[in-house]
Amino acid sequence: MKDMKLEIVILAAGQGTRMRSTLPKVLHPLAGRPLLAHVLDTAASLSPQQTHVVVGHGADKVVEQIGPRDGLKWVEQREQLGTGHAVDQAMAAIDDAATVLVLYGDVPLVRGETLQALLAAAQQGIGLLTVELAEPKGYGRILRDASHNITAIVEEKDANDAQRKIREGNTGILCAPAALLRQWLTRLENGNAQGEYYLTDIIAMAVQDDVPVHGVQASDPDEVSGVNNRRQLAQMERAYQLRQAEQLMDQGATLIDPARFDLRGRLTIGEDVLIDANVIIEGTVVLGNRVRIGPHVVLRDSVVGDDVCIEAMSHIQGATLGAQCQLGPYARLRPGSELAEQVKVGNFVEIKKSQLGQGSKVNHLSYIGDTQMGANVNIGAGTITCNYDGANKHQTVIGDNVFIGSDTQLVAPVEVGEGATIGAGSTITSNAPGKALTLSRSKQRSLENWKRPEKKSS
């Protein structure tokens, strides 16, 4: 295995008409990433010499969205004449001494371990990945002889009634010596119901040439299922998410409902993490020990320290939370938010591009943007930093141990000194000195004998 010169060919040229979309099928997202990206990641885990992706419909979009990768070669199939024809387009760049593994851009959940077993089985001959299905509709059927050796594959549209009752189906995933594969591809014919050159016809050729065909059966039908329509895409999404949930639970996380969990990126967890229902993880997220995440939380590209509690309906993006922070419910942290230890951000509070010092509290109904806040600051309800003048953003600086009363506007650029108190209802446009009370209010008046307006009678 270590000495094998492996070349991988991924077929990704189909239009996917049943998706009813202008987007090439292999670019439809699974867990927030294109179907093809998942297959490329699995291919890379096998350390091939090169990966050849055969594209056709929407080739420019596919190449642009996937972008450059090490060892990736794009091959265009100008006419879609079948899987055999597609593989043949890539063979010109493949050495005869190599082993060729054929994958599919719309089969995203195939496991690297399964493919390793397939490659091992193909050390002497061809490796063919099959699957046992209760309802194999749409699959080519595996034909075997009395000794259980694989003799051929018959496509469903070309199968007779007896062959259609066979439950072992062809996944289309196979590996073969490049020199033999090249010969067999030149012998393919298109005299079938579809008028296409079937890659699967090489199995019968191999048998005719006394080349053994080693079948490896996938243990999980989901990993070899393709995506041809929106319903299948949704089914694949749930299969993928359940796989991620099971891996997290194996690592020690508690998921209140694994069926209502979505991981659309990479998640690293500490010990005793608890995640409630309908939590969505996107990008790269790190959770420390004993983190508690309530229901309906979205976490994207963030780092969460030990013993943090995130209550329901909170949205966190591009943020860092120190140990023992409390967040939410209904809190929003935007990119650049950095919370030191023991910070509390309460309900309907938005933080953007700001640093909050240890033990500071913004409990409710406030906006803090472009702010450097010290330790043990208390922000009253309804406080906002007015950081945008219509053209530029400006910074607010708040020292340690500041108390800001409710319904205060801090008009940046402005500084509030250490230990200062800002009276409720103030609009602060100039720097406020430390250890002093600063307030700005109009004088309160009461009008005697004032009569409240009344509705006019019709």
Residue of 214, 296, 364, 394 marked active site? 364
Count of alpha carbons within 13 angstroms of residue 59, beta-carbon side: 14
Distance from C-alpha of 3 to C-alpha of 90, rounded to nearest angstrom: 22
For residue 392, the SS3 value is coil
Residue from 443, 442, 441, 399 nearest 421 by CA: 399
Contact (Cβ atoms closer than 8 angstroms) between residue 47 and residue 91: no
The DSSP output letter for 260 is G
Judge whether 38 counts as a catalytic residue: no
Beta bridge partners of 101: 8, 175
Distance from C-alpha of 200 to C-alpha of 131, rounded to nearest angstrom: 15
Contact (Cβ atoms closer than 8 angstroms) between residue 238 and residue 222: no
Residue located via tokens 């033999």? 180
DSSP of 72-116: EEEEE-SS---HHHHHHHHGGGS-TTSEEEEEETT-TT--HHHHH
What is the set of active-site residues?
Answer: 364
